[in-house]
Structure 1
Amino acid sequence: MKKSRFMWLSMAFLLFFAVCAGNLSQTATAQAGEGKTYQIATDITFAPFEFQDIDGNYVGIDMELMQAIAKNQNFKYEIKPLGFNAAVQALQSNQVDGMIAGMSITAERKKAFDFSSPYFDSGIVMAVKKDNTDTKSYEDLRGKNVAVKIGTQGYEFADSIKDKYGFTITPFEDSAQVYDDVKTGNSAACFDDYPVLAYGIQQNNGLRLATTKKEVGSSYGFAVNKGKNPELLEKFNAGLANLKANGEYDSIVSKYLGNPDGSAPAATQTLGRWELIQKSLPSLFEGLLKTMMYTIISLFFAFIMGLIFGFMKVSHSKIARGIATVYVDIFRGIPLLVLGLFIYLGIPGMFGFTMPLPVAATLALSLNAGAYVTEIIRGGIQSIDRGQMEAARSLGLPYRTAMVKVIIPQAIKVMIPSFINQLVITLKDTSIMSAIGLVELTQSGKIVIARTLASDIWLVVALMYLIVITILTKVADAVERRTRRG
């Protein structure tokens, strides 16, 4: 009875935690409408429209336009850096109120979103490696590979002509990865929006424009979900019109793309490799601390679930064993990325509430790790010879006492190496949650690279993971040796 009561109380606590998170998020959304504080999704890896500067501030054409329009129309907003695809899905599932991320206005997107008046007219161009003199036209791409960013006009244009010119495309999540693929020679060229490529070339990203004529591209617009937040859309349009009338719009655009007379924008500071790494370390260490925090919290809940379902798997009840087996099969069978997207975007979209991103990420990590912890506990208990239980029972010990006093102490020694391994796996799995916008170490690295276009930062990120995991492993090994000696 006590075991069953503990199980149901724990499950009730987890359910209460999830419901409270949803209710808190619903309250925040309601206040956003009443208090003029809107949740605005963006990419922040799409310079010069949105990126994070060296001080951690969100800057770029879109960010400054949003700030100026909000000031002009007297409303408040909060930026949610999610990545382009996650931002689109968050807007569709009403997790945010609006989206500004260099989003092209297309007929297909108009079916799902309401757009503002266009605030920027773009176009598609092709770029190649700086020293590549062989690729001069689309014909030169035949039999080669082309890099593009998912969800962009560049992707759509490349996809529309790939059969005609006989090339294949490789999609990436952000522009920095696209440029790196071209620089390393894996792709012969890339297609992207002209202002984005031009800004990257200005920042010495190692590419050059191979075509001077811009392919027709769609205009950029601010988006809200279909039929939602019409007052926000009206305020954006009114503010944009005022900015264009008073000249502030031209000032913001010329700051990043140059002036209409052809003069270049203000020069940006160029940092050396080591200086760049040094300047980037504070944000990377902040990301590392968040990684550790999400790992610890997720493992805490994972161990609770692992204990519950682990004991259910070795219980005498067929129903309990069946429930535990279903839990393990489901959450070991669903890829962690899919699980994260489903929890953060799918469930709120189906039931009409919003869920904070850290809660969704923690829940996904906990459910995934909990399934593996369940099997670790089950395997540890079943690894103890049955004669141990029989001997304990023959001495008159009740089943529960025999488990607590005889079986579990021996099983823990068997389980410790697997627990250590799960700690390392969960710490690394936090990086997968960057795909839904969670800012941890990997996402912090992406943000720095989006600003600097310096792929060296990935080496720093890798070393940080390696050092932390090595330290944790050595500490855990010492604990394991002491436990075995005890």
Structure 2
Amino acid sequence: MFRKKWLMAILFIATLVISLIIGNLTTNETVAQNSGRKLIMVTSADYPPYEFRKTGGGAGGEIIGFDVDIAKYITRELGYELEIKDTDFSGIIPALQSGRANFAMAGMTPTPERQKNVDFSDIYYEAKNTIVTKKGANLTTLASLAGKKVGVQLGSTQEKFAKEKIKGAKIVALNKTGDLIQEIKSNRINAAIIEDTIAKGFIANNPTLEFNTVPSSAEEAGSAIAFPKGSPLVQPFNKVLQQMKQNGEIEALVKKWFENQGGNQAAEDPANAPSSFETAWGSIPFIAQGIIVTLQFTLISAFFGFLWGIVLALFKISTVKPLNLFAKGYTSVFRGTPLLLQIALVYYATPQLTGYDIPALLAGVITFTLNSGAYISETIRGGILAVDKGQREAALSLGVPYQPMMKDIILPQAVKNILPSLVNESIALLKDSSLVSTIGVVDVLRRAQIVGAEKYIYFEPLLVAGLIYYVLVMLLTWGGSKLERRLQRSA
């Protein structure tokens, strides 16, 4: 009876998993069918006021900002629908190269290095670099930064600028601007080179900091739209950009987003602005919406990872040498390479190799299934070998075939013995699921980063995300303990 209940539970989970995957594939096919009059824009929505997610007022995390308004205007004028994809800044050019997007807008400057990999439109906005430091640090010029730790955003023009213009400085490159601000506040770096329009928002919400503008040079070209090499969209986009400059649309958007700070309350009324903790706690509903994505990802990956781990474990104890060698080599590769690297390869390489635009969530599930299967296989192999050999010999002597023996006698005992290890692997999978935020999956961690970007804070939203992960882990631990006690009673 107990075994039948387990069988029904597995069938239910399998049905749920297959439904979710079919839903992902159907959605992707629909996008592909409509792509004739739809343009996909890739951005890094953590760079207000250029592009960021609006988390208040029931907006549901809609991506808004200066670049977004320009993109909407251009696509509307050209007769296209617009779809926006979010990723890390360092993943924007790979997204264009892999055919995931038709164009990119993220306050990008057309440097010679970038022009080797993508094409650019005309410049649509020029900004200045600033030196952001703690108040009273007396680091107001590039010369004063010599020998100091200076932070920049990874892959940005500020990174190149700092390396070329600041002599003797130690350059620290981080993924997000919010990371740089937190590093300054933590005294890990002395200053950061940040664009002036971005720096204004952070300074308004962090009164202990200040910024000083770096004199402009002819090398600073401003922001442009990026396209895949050879894209036919460059000229049409340039035509509309020129139109926007002539009819005053660009100037109106500059006033809307830069001079008014996009409606930033702290910038407009610092005295009445809520504290960082009040802002973070007020954003809990938005961050908590990521729980569904996190659990969906974890459950699907854990289910398929467990099944794949069983297959690999059986290969490892098999007397068929090719299967044995394959399983050992597979485990060696997936345990010997970083999980973040595996995610990036599956997500960005799949479109280039197969032509299939794999959804970010599906790419994460596949990667974590393949990765966790390698680890789980070792755990299951140990559990199988821990079962008394006499039971296997007795079953074989009674004429029980190998497959029924493993399915009905050995594996149930092995799983019971290794259940604590499987629960630990599930907990690790739940926490590691935050890595999918690097390819744009809007899970708990990504939502916390979105709140930080929109509100110009950093530490507090991450505390909220940490609390949510802790509660989820405690619930998973409780469920695992209850299941373990039930299995012990049924023994």
Task: Decide: shared fold, TM above 0.5.
Answer: yes
The equivalent position to 2:295 in structure 1, one of 276, 286, 292, is 292
User: In the alignment, which residue of structure 1 is the partner of 2:43?
Assistant: 42
Equivalent residue for 1:446, pick from 449, 452, 455:
449
- Hey, what does 1:8 align to over in structure 2? none
Distance in 2 (alpha carbons) for counterparts of 1:159 and 1:287: 38
Between 1:385-394 and 1:464-473, the stretch displaced more is 385-394
Structure 2 residue 132 is matched with structure 1 residue 127: yes
1:350 matched to 2:353? The reply is yes
**TM-fit CA distance, 1:20:** 12
CA distance change for structure 1 residues 169 and 378 in 2, over 3 Å: closer, same or farther? same
Alpha-carbon deviation of 1:176? 0.5
Match of 1:268 among 244, 265, 270: 265
Q: CA deviation at 1:30?
A: 6.0
- 2:221 is paired with a residue whose SS is strand
Q: What is aligned with 1:97?
A: 102
Provide, for residues 180-230 of structure 1, a one-character-per-residue CA deviation record: whole Å limited to 9, x for no partner.
Answer: 1111111110002222212322344642113453455222111110013x1
What residue number does 2:10 align with?
A: none
Q: Retained in 1: the 8 A contact 2:131–2:140?
A: no
Match of 2:393 in 1: 390
Q: Secondary structure at the match of 1:355?
A: coil
Q: Name the aligned partner's letter for residue 332 of structure 1.
A: R
Letter of the structure 2 residue corresponding to residue 479 of structure 1? L
Q: 1:220 aligns with which of 218, 223, 236?
A: 223
Distance in 1 (CA, whole Å) between partners of 2:326 and 2:398 is 32
Work out the CA distance in 2 between the residues paired with 1:377 and 1:212: 59
Q: Percent identity?
A: 31
Q: Does 1:169 align with 2:171?
A: yes
Aligned to 2:252: 251
Residues 61-460 of structure 1: pairs in structure 2 closer than 5 A: 61-129=66-134, 131-162=135-166, 164=167, 166-204=168-206, 206-211=208-213, 213-215=215-217, 216-228=219-231, 230=232, 232-258=233-259, 268=265, 270-454=273-457, 455-460=459-464
C-alpha deviations, 1:222-272, integer Å up to 9, x for none? Answer: 1110013x1x3333223222222222221111112228xxxx875536333
Q: Which moved more, 1:80-89 or 1:276-285?
A: 276-285
Task: Tell me, yes or no, if the aligned pair for 1:37 and 1:78 is still in contact at 8 Å.
Answer: yes
Q: Tell me how far 1:26 sits from its aligned partner.
A: 7.3
Displacement of 1:144: 2.4
Q: Give the stretch that moved more between structures: 22-31 or 354-363.
A: 22-31
What is the CA–CA distance in structure 2 between the aligned matches of 1:62 and 1:416, rounded to whole Å? 50
TM-score (structure 2 length as normaliser): 0.87
3-state SS of 1:122 partner:
coil
- Secondary structure at the aligned position of 1:120 is classed as coil
Q: Does 1:31 align with 2:31?
A: no
Letter in 1 for 2:292: L
* Distance verdict in 2 for CA 1:108–1:400, change over 3 Å: closer
Distance change >3 Å, CA 483–CA 202, structure 1 → 2 = same
Q: Which residue of 1 aligns with 2:468?
A: 464
Q: Give the 3 Å change call, closer, same or farther, for CA 314–154 of structure 1 in structure 2.
A: same
3-state SS in 2 of match to 1:126? strand
CA deviations over 1:55-91 (Å, ceiling 9, x no partner): 2221111011111222233211100011211122111
- TM-score of the superposed pair, with normalisation by structure 1: 0.88
Rounded Cα–Cα distance in structure 2 between residues aligned with 1:174 and 1:205 = 20
Decide whether the 8 Å contact of 1:70 with 1:239 is kept in 2.
no
Contact 1:40 1:97 survives alignment (8 Å):
yes
Q: Do the aligned partners of residues 266 and 304 (structure 1) sit closer, same or farther apart at CA in structure 2, a change above 3 Å counting?
A: closer
User: Counterpart of 1:238 in structure 2: which amino acid?
Assistant: K
Instruction: Look up the equivalent residue of 1:96 and give its one-letter code.
Output: A
Query: 1:422-479: CA deviations, max 9, x gaps?
Result: 1111111111121222221111111111111222111111111111101110121121
Q: 1:293-340: per-residue Cα shift (whole Å, max 9, x none)?
A: 100111122122112222222222222212222222222222111111
- Contact map agreement 1:340 1:433 (CA 8 A) in 2: yes
Q: What displacement does 1:24 show? A: 7.8
Partner Cα distance (2:45, 2:198) in 1: 13
- Kindly provide the CA deviation profile for residues 133-183 of structure 1, in whole angstroms up to 9, marking residues without a partner as x: 332333333432111101111111111134x2x221111101000111111
Query: Which residue type is aligned with residue 209 of structure 2?
Result: L
Question: Per the alignment, in what secondary structure is the counterpart of residue 194 of structure 2?
Answer: strand
**Structure 2 contact 423–480 (Cα < 8 Å) conserved:** yes
Q: In the alignment, residue 168 of structure 1 is paired with which amino acid?
A: K
Residues 168, 400 of structure 1: alpha-carbon distance in 2 compared, 3 angstrom cutoff: same
Partners of 1:113 and 1:414 in 2: CA distance = 54
Q: Per the alignment, in what secondary structure is the counterpart of residue 151 of structure 1?
A: coil
Give the deviation of 1:387 after TM superposition.
2.3
Residues 123 and 221, structure 2, Cα contact 8 Å, conserved in 1: no
Match of 2:11? none
Aligned to 2:9: none
Counterpart residue type for residue 47 of structure 1: P
